[in-house]
Structure 1
Amino acid sequence: MPRAKKVAGTAVDARNGQQVLGVVAGSKVEKFAPPRGLSKPAKDAWGAFWDDRPALLVTPAAKVVLLRWIDALDRYLRTIAEADTQPLVTGSQGQEVINPLYKVAEQAMTVVRDCEKQLGIGGLNAASLGLAAISEQRSLASMNARYSGPDDVEDEDEPDPRDPHLKVVSGVVDDA
């Protein structure tokens, strides 16, 4: 007899003891226009996000995280580009110091990484949220062709009489 199922909303994940959350149908956010004033690389990242798997998990509540991510990413891209034009600047005592814009860029990147974890951007982050990465599907024939050597190629019309599995399948069992 099958085990009784828990009442909806009371299931707990056996791995960490936290309540299992389901995705409610219809709660997905549809693609919307990026915030105004983004740099071209940030706009490209915005478009790439919507073409990728993590976009499937964006809920109305996560929309603010998505906006925070793109804002911080744009800030990082602009700041690092500006800092790279003059990596060393003159400090208050006349000495050369690292451009302080690098610190601003580092802080923006910290926000980007935190948001990427929540949104599932990147392979490891996606896997931690349960998004499966399937690079391609192969048929049995294509996998056999890929892993068999030139000596392994056989005539497909005539099965190998030495293979005992094929004898059982075809209903002929030799006790030789």
Structure 2
Amino acid sequence: MSEDLPPPYTPATTAPPIWEPHFIDLTQYSSLIVRKPLDPPPDCFSTPSPPRVKSNDFPPFRIPCVGNNLADGFRILYPSGLLEKHGIQQADWTRFLEDLGVSARLAGQGLSAVGSRVPITPHPVRGIFGTRATGVAYDSQFARSPRDEVQTLITVWNQSAFERRKLRVTLHITGGLDNRAAYELFVESL
């Protein structure tokens, strides 16, 4: 009779594999771009979305920053077989990732690729340098950090291309809040 009993239960010794998309690494083909982000607007801003896009058709994935600074840019990783279903082609995704690095580098120079011209706080200019420093004082009110600039650009892409195709990209800080923080993009299907 003991021969008819099933063997005792033994728990699995390995965890299930973690899902990772198949990435095509295009980082080596990317260079320091001299164009301004959104000038001209990417093609996917004006092309129609696919007629039927599935919701939640893949688990979220992450794209790491090349270094600890946003100005280093993000690795140009294209998840083959995922974004095409949502109407995001390889050229559009590459442009998005390259523009994030360009935007951060411009912000480091005090320039904005997507910023508004609304002053953050009033900054009166007085004293002996009042007339000569007026332009510098005026422009300094518009300077944003690279993180703010990249976040603004991600918001523009989400509103103009990704969300209507049932995708969302968010910027995550993986380290502390100090200058040595590392960044990554979190891409999810809505």
The TM-score range, normalised by the shorter chain, is 0.3 to 0.5
Task: Kindly indicate which of the two structures has a greater share of residues assigned to strand.
Answer: 2
Select the structure of larger CA radius of gyration.
Answer: 1
TM-score, normalised via structure 2 length: 0.32
TM-score, normalised via structure 1 length: 0.34
Task: Kindly indicate which of the two structures has a greater share of residues assigned to helix.
Answer: 1
Bigger RCO (CA 8 Å, 6+ sep) = 2
